[in-house]
Amino acid sequence: MLDIRILREDPERARASQVARGEDPAVIDAILSADSSRRAASTVFDTARAAQKELGRSIGPLQGKVKSGKATADETAELDALMAQATALAAQVTQAEDAQRAAEEQFIGLMAQVPNFVDTRAPVGGEDDFVTLEHVGTPRDFAAEGFEPKDHLDLGALHKAIDVERGAKVSGSRFYYLTGVGAELEFAMVNYAMDTARKHGFIPVVPPTLVRAEAMEGTGFLGQAAENVYHLKDDDMYLVGTSEVPLAAYHMDEILERDSLPRRYAGFSPCFRREAGSHGKDVRGIIRVHWFDKVEMFAFTNLTEAEAEHQRFLEIERGFFESLEIPFRIIDTATGDLGLSAARKFDIEAWVPTQNAYREVTSTSNCTDFQSRRLRIRTRDESGATEPVCTVNGTLVAVPRAIVVLLENHQQIDGSIRVPAVLQPYLGGRTVLTPPQ
RNA sequence: GGAGAAGUCGCCUAGUCCGGUCUAUGGCGCCCGCCUGCUAAGCGGGUUGAGGACCAAAAUCCUCUCGAGGGUUCAAAUCCCUCCUUCUCCGCCA
């Protein structure tokens, strides 16, 4: 949810943000108009209600007298007159209330559609208009090493680590089994990621992955992204696509004391995505799947700290993939590709040798106060007044994609996989994974 | 899943039977002030959150908020319905 006060004071900024995202700026004017109708309706209602209350205070004692039979004829007549007035007033109040509610609903409906303000430093444009900020590491020259790299599915089959055929048999396309060393790799990555997060001051969390509409809505996943969310109709529950959802909603309706910020959480959870509208994309392998496990970083900060926190998240992600000795680049996502909640987003794209391309492995977003307004998560400023917090999220490790880039980048000519030093303690000290006989 | 009890402005709590003077009681905690070698005690005041009016700002005022949403009524913390949550007992289960 946007801050209506900023919209009132600086509608130009809101219109510019809409334009940058490729959205309709006219919505902003519709909102401003709905806002003033809402305020006018509210004033009418308040006035009518105050009069009604006042009248009620006269009726009460008088009726007491009449009921007990102690009232004079004048008093009985007065009560009748007051009651007639009250009846008339009640009609006014009902009408004013309906008008107020309608105006409020229209206003909220419009507000909920509008994405967060973009950070003006984010590159303007669509999906392909990102800016590459940095390259880290150098892709291997397999030709010079004298062999053709195998893709992660071939390597997965060779190591009996990834089984997509049986995944499809049991659950359908875009499902997989991790077996043997594949499963071990998942635990190794998750444990390494959690240890990393803990060292950076994050509290480890295993959150619920089935949530109510409110949590989904509050984090901005029931808007444009709704088609990618699994919904359980019988229970009206949603399967989360990321632990960002339950982590953000963790402090829903709370006021977080100023000195308790930033609060940093690292969530481990399965993630479920319908991948509607991505037919034909990444059909082979486990790059794009309906379910995967992920370690996600999440922070609640105050307004002035959010941007620094976002940078911190990027540094942690950078350090993580650097330590895995995987070449990657960092991109600054373009405004048209930010999603509903983010003001700015950085992705790490790791090198996938067999695709001769960089593919997204992490994403960190600064959602400023957009989610916290929807979830009513606040803190107090110096004067003690409440203000919304800011939320920042970022992937530490999304398991299947991390496995893909690890296998492909560290494969050797005989099909074995070199284990980067940081991961060795999590794999029983093995320095190389050799295919089972 | 079944039966029962409960949910009040940080925490505890009065009020609900019998609707209006509830503009929600009292205690604890916390904050400010007074008093005071210091501290404690004592005394006085303040202490839910949201929206709005006025405004440079403060003060002030209005409305909403008694788990949530509906309903009855001139009027709902209070009566009725639905839902949520918690607790107790039973059943089932990793």
Closest nucleotide relative to residue A85's CA, C1' based? B74
Spatial distance from the CA of A145 to the C1' of B78 (Å): 83
CA-wise closest residue to A391 among A211, A261, A240, A199: A261
Estimate in Å the CA A74 to C1' B38 gap, whole number: 68
DSSP H or E segment with residue A316: helix A306-323
d(CA A151, CA A409): 10
Question: Which DSSP state fits A204?
Answer: E
Within A 373-432, residues with CB less than 7 Å from strand B: 378, 386
pLDDT at A258: 82
Cα–Cα distance list, A437 to A101, A165, A252 (Å):
70, 21, 52
> Is A39 considered catalytic here?
no
Whether the CB of A47 is less than 7 Å away from nucleic strand B comes out as yes
pLDDT at position A105: 86
Which helix H or strand E contains A134, and what residues bound it?
strand A131-136
Q: CA at A383, C1' at B48: how many angstroms apart? A: 17
Mean pLDDT to the nearest integer, A58-84: 77
Report the Cα A155 to chain-centroid distance in Å. Answer: 33
- Amino acid letter at A408? E
Judged against a pLDDT cut of 80, whether residue A72 lies above it is answered with no
pLDDT (tens digit per residue) in A34-69: 999 888 888 888 888 888 888 887 787 777 777 767
The pLDDT of residue A56 is: 81
Q: Residue A177's pLDDT is what?
A: 96
Tokens of A234: 């019988």
Q: A281 is written with which tokens?
A: 């994309």
Axis crossing angle, helix A73-113 with helix A26-67, rounded to the nearest 10: 160
Q: Any catalytic annotation for residue A401?
A: yes
Q: Is A344 a catalytic residue?
A: no
Distance A42 CA to B94 C1' (A): 53
Q: Is A173 one of the catalytic residues?
A: no
Residue A95 Cβ under 7 A from any strand B atom = no
The answer to whether some atom of strand B lies closer than 7 Å to the beta carbon of A57 is yes
* Cα distance between residue A113 and residue A2, in whole Å: 10
Beta pairing, strands A203-205 & A263-272: parallel
Q: Say what the pLDDT of residue A278 is.
A: 80
Segment A180-207 shows an average pLDDT of: 96
- Catalytic residue list contains A258: no
Active-site position among A212, A288, A329, A430: A288
Contacting residues 244-283/A vs strand B (CB within 7 A): 255
- β-partners of residue A238 are A211, A231
As a whole number of angstroms, the distance between CA A401 and CA A381 comes to 41
pLDDT at A269 over 80: yes
User: Tens digit of pLDDT for each residue in A393-434?
Assistant: 999 999 999 999 999 999 999 999 999 999 999 999 999 999
Nearest to A123 by CA among A329, A334, A310, A347: A334
Asked if residue A99 keeps its beta carbon closer than 7 A to nucleic acid strand B, the reply is: no
Among A142-146, A273-277, A318-322, name the one with the lowest average pLDDT.
A273-277
Select the more confidently predicted residue: A97 or A293.
A293
Range with the poorest average pLDDT among A264-278, A288-302, A371-385: A371-385
Q: What is the pLDDT of residue A401?
A: 96
- Pick the catalytic residue: A273, A312, A318, A359? A273
Which nucleotide C1' is nearest A4 CA?
B51
From the C1' of B10, which residue's alpha carbon is nearest? A255
Residue partners of A129: CB distance under 8 A and separation at least 6:
A123, A334, A336
Cβ within 7 Å of strand B: which of A 72-91? 83, 86-87, 89-90
Q: Which of residues 167-226 of A touch strand B (CB under 7 A)?
A: none
Chain B footprint bases within 7 A of protein beta carbons: 20-21, 23, 49-53, 62-64, 74-75
How far, CA to CA in Å, does A286 sit from each of A38, A162, A188, A399?
50, 9, 18, 10
Beta-ladder partners of A230: A239
Residue A381 has pLDDT above 90, yes or no: no
Give whichever of A7-11, A20-24, A91-95, A255-259 has the largest mean pLDDT: A20-24
Span A209-254, pLDDT tens digits = 999 888 998 898 987 778 899 998 888 889 999 999 999 999 988 8
Looking at per-residue pLDDT, the higher value among A261 and A273 belongs to A273
A339 CA to B93 C1', in Å? Answer: 41
Question: How do residues A171-180 score in pLDDT, each as one tens digit?
Answer: 999 999 999 9
Identity of the amino acid at A429: G
Average pLDDT taken over every residue of chain A: 91
Residue nearest to nucleotide B48 (CA to C1'): A255
Tokens of A334: 């373009």
- List pLDDT tens digits, range A286-325: 999 999 999 999 999 988 899 999 999 999 999 999 999 9
